[in-house]
Protein backbone atom coordinates (compact mmCIF):
# COMPACT_ATOMS: atom_id res chain seq x y z
CA UNK A 1 0.00 0.00 0.00
CA UNK A 2 1.14 3.56 -0.66
CA UNK A 3 1.39 6.01 2.23
CA UNK A 4 -1.81 7.71 1.03
CA UNK A 5 -3.60 4.37 1.01
CA UNK A 6 -2.45 3.75 4.58
CA UNK A 7 -3.72 7.21 5.56
CA UNK A 8 -7.09 6.45 3.97
CA UNK A 9 -7.23 3.09 5.72
CA UNK A 10 -6.67 4.60 9.16
CA UNK A 11 -9.02 7.52 8.44
CA UNK A 12 -11.77 5.06 7.60
CA UNK A 13 -11.22 3.20 10.88
CA UNK A 14 -11.53 6.47 12.81
CA UNK A 15 -15.04 7.08 11.48
CA UNK A 16 -16.42 4.46 13.86
CA UNK A 17 -15.24 6.58 16.84
CA UNK A 18 -17.38 9.57 15.83
CA UNK A 19 -20.53 7.81 14.61
CA UNK A 20 -23.60 9.10 16.43
CA UNK A 21 -21.81 12.08 17.98
CA UNK A 22 -23.43 15.45 17.24
CA UNK A 23 -20.27 17.50 17.86
CA UNK A 24 -16.72 16.40 17.12
CA UNK A 25 -13.23 17.94 17.00
CA UNK A 26 -11.30 17.76 13.75
CA UNK A 27 -7.54 18.18 13.35
CA UNK A 28 -5.37 19.23 10.45
CA UNK A 29 -3.21 17.53 7.83
CA UNK A 30 -3.26 15.11 4.95
CA UNK A 31 -4.43 12.12 7.04
CA UNK A 32 -7.26 14.15 8.52
CA UNK A 33 -8.19 15.35 5.04
CA UNK A 34 -9.08 11.77 4.16
CA UNK A 35 -11.08 11.54 7.38
CA UNK A 36 -12.99 14.71 6.44
CA UNK A 37 -13.81 13.24 3.01
CA UNK A 38 -15.28 10.19 4.77
CA UNK A 39 -17.27 12.35 7.18
CA UNK A 40 -19.36 13.34 4.19
CA UNK A 41 -21.07 9.91 4.40
CA UNK A 42 -22.29 10.51 7.97
CA UNK A 43 -22.70 14.27 7.88
CA UNK A 44 -26.47 13.96 8.44
CA UNK A 45 -25.75 12.90 12.05
CA UNK A 46 -23.27 15.71 12.72
CA UNK A 47 -24.51 19.02 14.13
CA UNK A 48 -21.11 20.62 13.72
CA UNK A 49 -17.37 20.32 14.17
CA UNK A 50 -14.78 22.32 16.05
CA UNK A 51 -11.88 22.84 13.68
CA UNK A 52 -8.16 23.18 14.40
CA UNK A 53 -7.29 25.34 11.38
CA UNK A 54 -8.64 27.58 8.66
CA UNK A 55 -7.73 24.88 6.12
CA UNK A 56 -9.79 22.26 7.94
CA UNK A 57 -12.68 24.71 8.39
CA UNK A 58 -12.73 25.28 4.65
CA UNK A 59 -12.86 21.56 3.92
CA UNK A 60 -15.60 20.95 6.50
CA UNK A 61 -17.72 23.76 5.08
CA UNK A 62 -17.19 22.45 1.56
CA UNK A 63 -18.82 19.15 2.47
CA UNK A 64 -21.63 20.87 4.38
CA UNK A 65 -20.52 20.36 7.99
CA UNK A 66 -21.01 23.54 10.07
CA UNK A 67 -17.90 24.79 11.88
CA UNK A 68 -18.55 25.62 15.54
CA UNK A 69 -16.64 27.91 17.89
CA UNK A 70 -15.01 26.07 20.77
CA UNK A 71 -16.33 28.82 23.05
CA UNK A 72 -19.90 27.95 22.18
CA UNK A 73 -19.75 24.20 22.82
CA UNK A 74 -18.96 22.27 26.00
CA UNK A 75 -16.36 19.55 26.24
CA UNK A 76 -15.98 17.67 22.98
CA UNK A 77 -16.57 13.90 23.11
CA UNK A 78 -13.97 12.92 20.50
CA UNK A 79 -11.15 14.75 18.72
CA UNK A 80 -9.54 13.10 15.69
CA UNK A 81 -6.14 14.30 14.48
CA UNK A 82 -2.91 13.06 12.91
CA UNK A 83 0.67 13.38 14.13
CA UNK A 84 4.20 13.71 12.83
CA UNK A 85 5.62 11.23 15.35
CA UNK A 86 4.11 8.83 17.86
CA UNK A 87 6.00 6.95 20.57
CA UNK A 88 4.93 3.70 22.28
CA UNK A 89 3.42 5.68 25.20
CA UNK A 90 1.15 7.69 22.85
CA UNK A 91 3.21 10.86 23.28
CA UNK A 92 3.28 12.85 20.06
CA UNK A 93 5.10 15.43 18.03
CA UNK A 94 2.65 17.55 16.04
CA UNK A 95 2.67 20.82 14.16
CA UNK A 96 4.24 19.88 10.85
CA UNK A 97 1.23 21.61 9.30
CA UNK A 98 1.58 24.59 11.66
CA UNK A 99 -1.73 24.11 13.47
CA UNK A 100 -0.24 22.93 16.77
CA UNK A 101 -1.71 25.56 19.10
CA UNK A 102 -5.34 25.17 18.04
CA UNK A 103 -4.80 21.40 17.93
CA UNK A 104 -3.51 21.43 21.49
CA UNK A 105 -6.44 23.54 22.67
CA UNK A 106 -9.01 21.22 21.11
CA UNK A 107 -7.21 18.13 22.41
CA UNK A 108 -7.29 19.67 25.90
CA UNK A 109 -11.02 20.36 25.62
CA UNK A 110 -11.83 16.84 24.38
CA UNK A 111 -12.70 13.79 26.43
CA UNK A 112 -11.08 11.42 23.94
CA UNK A 113 -8.23 12.14 21.52
CA UNK A 114 -8.03 9.60 18.71
CA UNK A 115 -4.76 9.96 16.84
CA UNK A 116 -4.59 8.55 13.31
CA UNK A 117 -1.26 7.75 11.68
CA UNK A 118 0.31 5.49 9.12
CA UNK A 119 3.06 3.25 10.43
CA UNK A 120 5.85 5.56 9.18
CA UNK A 121 5.03 7.92 12.07
CA UNK A 122 5.85 5.40 14.81
CA UNK A 123 9.18 5.87 16.61
CA UNK A 124 10.75 4.56 19.80
CA UNK A 125 12.01 7.99 20.85
CA UNK A 126 10.56 11.31 19.68
CA UNK A 127 12.75 13.94 18.07
CA UNK A 128 13.78 12.85 14.62
CA UNK A 129 11.01 15.03 13.20
CA UNK A 130 11.94 18.68 13.92
CA UNK A 131 9.88 19.94 16.86
CA UNK A 132 7.65 22.88 15.86
CA UNK A 133 7.51 25.78 18.31
CA UNK A 134 4.99 28.59 17.71
CA UNK A 135 6.32 31.97 18.79
CA UNK A 136 5.13 35.56 19.05
CA UNK A 137 6.95 37.17 16.07
CA UNK A 138 8.92 39.77 18.08
CA UNK A 139 10.26 37.01 20.35
CA UNK A 140 11.53 34.75 17.57
CA UNK A 141 15.27 35.39 17.90
CA UNK A 142 15.22 35.40 21.69
CA UNK A 143 13.31 32.12 21.79
CA UNK A 144 15.70 30.64 19.21
CA UNK A 145 18.69 31.47 21.45
CA UNK A 146 16.97 29.83 24.43
CA UNK A 147 16.25 26.71 22.35
CA UNK A 148 19.93 26.50 21.41
CA UNK A 149 20.75 26.51 25.15
CA UNK A 150 18.47 23.45 25.44
CA UNK A 151 20.56 21.67 22.81
CA UNK A 152 18.35 22.19 19.77
CA UNK A 153 18.97 23.78 16.38
CA UNK A 154 16.00 26.01 15.62
CA UNK A 155 15.25 26.84 12.01
CA UNK A 156 12.82 29.66 11.26
CA UNK A 157 9.93 28.55 8.99
CA UNK A 158 10.44 31.63 6.82
CA UNK A 159 7.49 33.53 5.34
CA UNK A 160 5.08 31.29 7.20
CA UNK A 161 2.43 32.61 9.59
CA UNK A 162 0.11 30.45 11.64
CA UNK A 163 -3.66 31.01 11.77
CA UNK A 164 -2.92 32.94 14.97
CA UNK A 165 -0.57 35.36 13.16
CA UNK A 166 2.50 33.85 14.82
CA UNK A 167 5.71 32.29 13.52
CA UNK A 168 7.22 28.81 13.76
CA UNK A 169 10.67 27.63 14.73
CA UNK A 170 11.37 24.01 13.75
CA UNK A 171 13.83 22.63 16.26
CA UNK A 172 16.20 20.00 14.90
CA UNK A 173 18.30 17.49 16.81
CA UNK A 174 16.39 17.73 20.09
CA UNK A 175 17.08 14.87 22.42
CA UNK A 176 13.54 14.15 23.60
CA UNK A 177 14.23 11.60 26.32
CA UNK A 178 11.72 13.21 28.68
CA UNK A 179 8.84 14.64 26.61
CA UNK A 180 6.80 15.71 29.68
CA UNK A 181 9.65 17.82 31.05
CA UNK A 182 10.70 19.25 27.69
CA UNK A 183 7.16 20.25 26.77
CA UNK A 184 6.91 22.28 29.97
CA UNK A 185 10.44 23.73 29.73
CA UNK A 186 9.90 25.04 26.19
CA UNK A 187 6.46 26.43 27.02
CA UNK A 188 8.04 28.33 29.92
CA UNK A 189 10.24 30.36 27.55
CA UNK A 190 8.74 33.84 27.31
CA UNK A 191 7.40 34.43 23.83
CA UNK A 192 6.52 30.79 23.14
CA UNK A 193 2.85 30.26 22.35
CA UNK A 194 3.17 26.51 22.55
CA UNK A 195 5.30 23.68 21.23
CA UNK A 196 4.39 20.58 19.25
CA UNK A 197 5.01 18.06 22.02
CA UNK A 198 1.75 16.45 23.08
CA UNK A 199 3.04 14.71 26.19
CA UNK A 200 0.87 16.09 29.00
CA UNK A 201 -2.30 15.83 26.92
CA UNK A 202 -1.29 12.84 24.85
CA UNK A 203 -3.48 10.61 22.69
CA UNK A 204 -6.02 8.32 24.34
CA UNK A 205 -6.11 6.01 21.35
CA UNK A 206 -3.62 5.71 18.51
CA UNK A 207 -4.79 4.02 15.33
CA UNK A 208 -1.91 2.87 13.14
CA UNK A 209 -2.52 2.03 9.50
CA UNK A 210 -0.30 -0.88 8.47
CA UNK A 211 -1.88 -2.15 5.28
CA UNK A 212 -3.02 -5.62 6.22
CA UNK A 213 -4.37 -4.29 9.52
CA UNK A 214 -4.99 -1.20 11.64
CA UNK A 215 -3.42 -1.48 15.10
CA UNK A 216 -5.18 0.13 18.04
CA UNK A 217 -3.00 1.33 20.92
CA UNK A 218 -4.98 2.28 24.05
> Applying CB under 6 A, which residues contact ligand 5RP?
27-31, 81-84, 94-100, 103
Minimal distance, residue 139 CB to ligand 5RP, in Å: 20
The H-or-E segment that residue 4 falls in is helix 3-18
HSE, side-chain direction, 13 A CA sphere, residue 211:
5
Q: Which is nearer to ligand 5RP, 100 or 135 (CB)?
A: 100
Minimal distance, residue 33 CB to ligand 5RP, in Å: 8
Beta partners for residue 156, in sequence order: 169
Beta partners for residue 19, in sequence order: none
Q: Which is nearer to ligand 5RP, 109 or 142 (CB)?
A: 109
**Cα separations (Å) of 156 from 55, 96, 97, 132, 150?**
22, 13, 14, 10, 16
Minimal distance, residue 208 CB to ligand 5RP, in Å: 13
Of 68, 126, 67, 136, whose CA–CA distance to 94 is shortest?
Answer: 126
69 is catalytic: no
Residues in the chain, total: 218
Confirm if 117 and 206 have CB atoms less than 8 A apart. yes
Q: Which is nearer to ligand 5RP, 20 or 34 (CB)?
A: 34
Exactly one of 5, 54, 85, 103 is catalytic; which is it?
103
What is residue 94's DSSP assignment?
Answer: -
Minimal distance, residue 118 CB to ligand 5RP, in Å: 8
Residues labelled as active-site residues: 103
Amino acid sequence: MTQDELKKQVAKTAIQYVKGLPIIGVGTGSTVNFFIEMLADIKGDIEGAVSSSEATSERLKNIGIPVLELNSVGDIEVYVDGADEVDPRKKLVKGGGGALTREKIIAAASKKFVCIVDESKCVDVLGKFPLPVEVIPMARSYVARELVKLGGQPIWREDYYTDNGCEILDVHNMDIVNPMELERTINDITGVVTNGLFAHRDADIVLIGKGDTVDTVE
